[in-house]
Amino acid sequence: MTIAVTGATGFLGTALVQRLLEVEDGQQIRILARDPSKARRLFGTNVEIIAGDITDQAQVGRTLHNVQVVYHLAGQLYHPIYPAHDYIRTHVEGTHTLLTACQKAPDLQRLLYCSSTGVFGVTGRQPATEEAEYAPTNPYEAAKVACELLVAQAYHERGLPVSILRPGLVYGPGDLHLLGLFQAIQKRSLSCDRWRESLSTSHLY
């Protein structure tokens, strides 16, 4: 079996590839990477690296050649200074490019798209199920909604075998965002009292 991963050099992607290498003994792991040298530093010669961007149709097609499973994690993390078109290009255009390539991959058994609980916006004390309405609050979340709609359309109209994952706030080794917050709280340089009961989050290790 050949498994392809987009966004493999990111925080979540790196953890996924390392785990796949541990459990998928004898299977081929192929990744699409904008920075092949970084990918090689992370994974050595244990993976096949295709140099390219998620919006590059030719390189995405090469990545999916004879692939059975695709993990689509490529994306731009949210930051308020990033313009909306950055998310549109990386998330929406990139996902459209990937779905087009998936249609030309006859051996594909499953596409797993990594979305976010952010598609529901701020739910407060109200639990959100899979059927909850979309309520994005920023360009990143809106882009994730658009991608989910594209993936769902590919399933309903073309029968593409897809699954959509919606993790919450992910933390762990290599994290450059949440761990700093946790460490500040641990050192008492940041107080949790400022949020009191107004903050509700879901964390995934």
Average of per-residue pLDDT across 3-19: 96
Which is higher by pLDDT, 177 or 39?
A: 39
Please report the pLDDT score of residue 172 as a whole number: 82
Sheet holding 2-6, edge to edge: 48-51, 28-33, 2-6, 69-72, 110-114, 162-165
Distance between CA atoms of residues 72 and 113, nearest Å: 5
Which is higher by pLDDT, 195 or 148?
A: 148
pLDDT digits (tens, 9 = 90+) for 88-145: 999 999 999 999 999 999 999 999 999 999 999 887 777 788 888 999 999 999 999 9
Contact indicator for 64, 5 with CB cutoff of 8 Å: no
Tokens of residue 176, six digits: 């450059």
Whether residue 27 is predicted with pLDDT greater than 70 in this model: the reply is: yes
Contact indicator for 115, 71 with CB cutoff of 8 Å: no
Contact indicator for 106, 91 with CB cutoff of 8 Å: no
pTM, full prediction: 0.90
Distance between CA atoms of residues 160 and 169, nearest Å: 28
pLDDT digits (tens, 9 = 90+) for 31-65: 999 999 999 999 999 999 999 999 999 999 999 99
DSSP strands (E only) in 91-205: 110-114, 162-165, 169-170, 203-204
Q: Which structural domains are found in the chain, ordered by start?
A: 2-167 (3.40.50.720)
